[in-house]
């Protein structure tokens, strides 16, 4: 059955849904709205990771996690070798490139 996006979702929420929402919000010390919002953000991040090019090509979740951690360490090791001045210069060039890219067609 297709989801009717015009119908308010809370009309379908059950008592057990609200008990769970209240319990999670209380345990996380946040409002119910914030708990729902952060939960939806986490669900989206999880879907993006699950559907990433890495995970499409590496079938095993354990392999992709090892690869992700390894590449993170490679990146940290690389940036540890770059001087503060070089990082600052790269940041400056990157900011200028973004600024120019956002102002294409401006007078």
Q: What is the pLDDT of residues 30-87, one digit of tens each?
A: 999 999 999 999 999 989 888 887 777 777 778 878 888 999 999 999 999 999 999 9
Q: Answer whether 36's CB lies under 8 Å from 21's CB.
A: yes
The residue whose two tokens read 């809370």 is 10
94 domain residue, yes or no? yes
> Please, what's the b/e burial string for 56-80 (b: 16 or more CB within 10 A of its CB; e: otherwise)?
eebeeeeebeeeeeeeeeeeeeeee
3 domain residue, yes or no? no
Q: In which domain, by residue range, is 37 found?
A: 12-51
pLDDT for position 104: 52
85 domain residue, yes or no? yes
78 domain residue, yes or no? yes
107 domain residue, yes or no? no
DSSP alpha helix (H) spans, 1-107? 15-27, 32-50, 53-57, 61-81, 84-102
Q: Answer whether 87's CB lies under 8 Å from 79's CB.
A: yes
pTM, to two decimals: 0.51
72 domain residue, yes or no? yes
């Amino acid at each position: 059955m297709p989801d009717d996006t015009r119908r308010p979702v809370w009309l379908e929420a059950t008592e057990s849904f609200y008990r769970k929402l209240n319990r999670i919000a209380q345990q996380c010390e946040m409002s119910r709205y914030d708990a729902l919002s952060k939960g939806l953000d986490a669900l989206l991040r999880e879907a993006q990771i699950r559907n990433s090019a890495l995970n499409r090509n590496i079938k095993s979740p354990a392999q992709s996690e090892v690869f992700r951690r390894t590449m993170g360490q490679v990146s940290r090791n690389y940036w540890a070798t770059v001087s503060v001045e070089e990082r600052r210069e790269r940041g400056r060039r990157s900011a200028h490139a973004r600024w120019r890219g956002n102002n294409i067609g401006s007078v």
